[in-house]
Amino acid sequence: MNKHSAFLKAIIANRFRAYDRAFLESESHFRLQAEEAFPFTNAELAEMDDEERASNVDWYVDDYVEYSKTFPEVLRTGYLIGYYSLYEYFLRYICARAKQHKNIDIDLAIITGRGIFQAKIYLEKICGIKDLGNHQWQAIVCINKIRNSLVHNLGVLEVSENNDKIGLLQYFEKNSVTIERDSLNRIIIKDGYIETVSKLFKDNLEGTISKAFS
């Protein structure tokens, strides 16, 4: 591993490690709060009469739903957007470092496209880097669509021919354990998805660095 690769990989690892730890600790906190928010077991509820049971459920259920469902959904949405921002920033940063390393005169800014797509074209066409984790890239494109839906459409996924072309619906089917769409086509991020996205982004960036500075 040359000094360019080692330096970039260390920066990326440190930043992702901070996000990973913050996310996991926040999610753990909500999980504990949910357990404390509803202090009765099913057996204890079964021993209560109907009036007492209904009273206790009404009293505690709002806090329980917030800590077990609402707050984790907000947390995961925010972190998905945050992880995507990290990925896009570092992909563009790799472009800048590769330009310097290879003494390239062409700037990223003149390349057609935006965001991660512009950076990928630059690395492949200008820097001559081949196979930027194409199997990973298919998933990253789907995550891009999910991120855009969260940012611009309050998490409602618009059904379109383009989404079919990039395999977005198949992506949801493949990852249905950790992400899904409800009856209104709203994206639901479940337990384990954020960790999967974090690893995918890190692996892709590290692989790109290895190819860019080999």
CA distance 6 to 92: 17
Residue 162: per-residue pLDDT = 64
Spell out the residues 6+ positions from residue 197 whose beta carbon is closer than 8 angstroms to its own.
80, 83, 84, 143
The pLDDT of residue 159 is above 80 = no
Q: Tell me the pLDDT tens digit for each residue of 38-79.
A: 777 778 878 888 888 788 778 778 888 899 999 999 999 999
Q: Tell me the pLDDT tens digit for each residue of 194-209.
A: 999 999 999 999 999 9
Q: Tell me the pLDDT tens digit for each residue of 64-123.
A: 889 999 999 999 999 999 999 999 999 999 999 999 999 999 999 999 999 999 999 999
Average pLDDT (154-172) is: 80
Q: How confident is the model at residue 140 (pLDDT cuts 50, 70, 90)?
A: very high
Percentage of residues in the chain with pLDDT exceeding 90? 69
Q: Tell me the pLDDT tens digit for each residue of 168-190.
A: 889 999 999 999 999 999 999 99
- The helix (run of H) or strand (run of E) holding residue 179 is strand 179-181
Q: Are 185 and 72 in contact (CB under 8 A)?
A: no
Alpha carbons within 13 angstroms on the beta-carbon side of residue 110 total 5
